[in-house]
Amino acid sequence: MRKLLEAFFRHKWLVLLPPFVIAMIVAPIAYMTMPVAYESVVGVWVDRATYLDPRAQNQFVSAAQAQSSQLTELLHTRSFMVDVAQRTSLAPLLSSKAGEGRVADLLDKGVTVTAVPNGTHLLAIKARFTTPQLAYQVAQAVVDAYTDRNANQLVDQSTTAIGFFQSQLDNAQDAATKASRDLSQYALAMGYASSGDGAPISPDMQSATAFDPQFADLQAKARFAQQQVDQARVALQNAQQSSAAAAQGADVGFQVIDPPQMPTAPVTQLKNLIVYVAAALMVGLGLSTVVLVFLVAGDRSIRAETDLVPPVRVLGTLPMLKVKHRLPKPVRASATRRAIGFVAGSALPAPRGTR
């Protein structure tokens, strides 16, 4: 450790300079060679699918987060990537395998989907490319491709949901009809009602629930059956609404608030520049470490009494003695010795200006 510290402080510039020098070389090169980028941003309002039971959805993930993950994952699929690329000037690249790979790489690096911080429904789709046209095209294409895909998916899913909710409604209505009929028949039989055709129930009937548990049970069943019918009807209506909206291309769960604009000025790439400089600093630090290790390993000189191996009796340690006066060159090497011998008669030449 002592040798390490000694080597560091003795050659501090040699050790400290590499990180800064490399960073200072890399920063302007990175700045000059960094491609100009244009960014087009789309703001989207997203919501959950209305035909799904809210209780079945994860309440800890916001609609924006869910859609963001979905869209990001979709961007990594070949079919979606091709769908997006075909809507842009990148389409010709899709003719070859290599070109397709290049498109995938461009979209992977150029398109980012993020949920707006502190928001639950707002989604930002950013397309960053070397030309403003491409940035705009890709941003628009992502939105269009996703909307189309969503619409088709929504139609399929809502059709399935409509069928499901319809059958549920039918079943619920059958159950409600049966429960109502049972109630009416019982009420008629017991004399709580005048007729079984749905005529108003007599006032006695209101009090009959208090003393006739079977009648109360039938009433509760009828009410429950009616609630099931109502719920099924609401779900069916939501599914039908979604289906209708999807059919018309107006998905209420994915509404573009801020459509993409053609960028007019390039974006600053400060973040990339910082990354490059930080990487250069890290490389420089590594180099400094290597230099330091070599300095320590290469220093075989004696810097402390303990360095003497095998141990030899040390009579004393003389400090470094320096004469700081400006002296003529020929006597500079002997200045310390002359200063020590001064007591006995040796002497240093007069400092400049004292003669």
Partner 1 sequence: MVVVEGPGTDTTMDAESTPYHEASEPSWLQVNDGRQPVATGDGGREWLFPGVDEHFRGIYTRAGLGYTSEVVAVCSAIGGEGKTTVSVGLGVTLAQDFPDSRILIVETDVTSPVLATDFDVDPTPGLVDCVHAGESVQLAYRPTFLENLHVVPVGGPLRGAGRVLRSIRMASAIDAMRETHDLVILDVPPILVNSDSILITDLADCVICVVRMGVTPLELVNKAISQLDAEKLRGVVLNGANSAVPGWLRGMWAQ
Query: Which range in 1-9, 37-45, 137-145, 265-273 contacts partner 1 by CB under 8 A?
Result: 1-9
- Smallest gap, in angstroms, from Cβ of residue 298 to partner 1? 10
Contact 257, 45 (CB under 8 A): yes
* Residue 54 found at the interface with partner 1 (CB under 8 A): no
- From the CB of residue 215, how many other CB atoms can be counted at a distance below 10 Å? 18
Nearer CB in complex with partner 1: 2/181: 2
- Residue 244, amino acid: A
Q: Coil, strand, or helix at residue 163?
A: helix
Among 59, 270, 344, 353, binds partner 1 (CB under 8 A): 344
Residue 350 interacting with partner 1 (CB under 8 A): yes
Q: How far is the CB of 328 from partner 1 (least distance, A)?
A: 12
Instruction: Answer yes or no whether residue 2 interacts with partner 1 by CB under 8 A.
Output: yes
Question: What does the per-residue mask of binding to partner 1 show for 299-338, with x meaning CB under 8 A?
Answer: -xxxxxx-xxxx-xxxxxxxxxxxxxx--------x-xxx
The answer to whether 349 contacts partner 1 (rule: CB under 8 A) is yes
Q: At what angle do helices 213-247 and 132-190 cross, to 10 degrees?
A: 160
CB of 329 to partner 1, least distance (A): 14
Among positions 11-50, residues that touch partner 1 (CB under 8 A) are 12
268 binds partner 1 (CB under 8 A): no
Q: Can you read off the two tokens belonging to residue 123? A: 């989604």
Amino acid at 183: L
Q: Does 262 bind partner 1 (CB under 8 A)?
A: no
Written as six digits, the tokens of 256 are: 């573009």
Q: Where are the beta strands (DSSP E) in 130-277?
A: 254-258
- How many CB atoms are closer than 10 A to CB 54? 9
User: What minimum distance in Å lies between the beta carbon of 313 and partner 1?
Assistant: 4
What is the Cα–Cα distance from 91 to 7, expressed in whole angstroms?
60
Q: 221-250 mask for partner 1 (x: CB under 8 A)? A: ------------------------------
- Give 54's contacts (C-beta < 8 A, 6+ positions apart): 48
Would you call the peptide bond into 132 cis, given omega within 30 degrees of 0 as the criterion?
A: no
Nearer to partner 1, 264 or 301 (CB): 301
Token representation of residue 342: 């001064």
Instruction: Kindly list the residues in this chain that would bind partner 1 in the complex (CB under 8 A).
Output: 1-2, 5-6, 9-10, 12, 300-305, 307-310, 312-325, 334, 336-350, 354-355
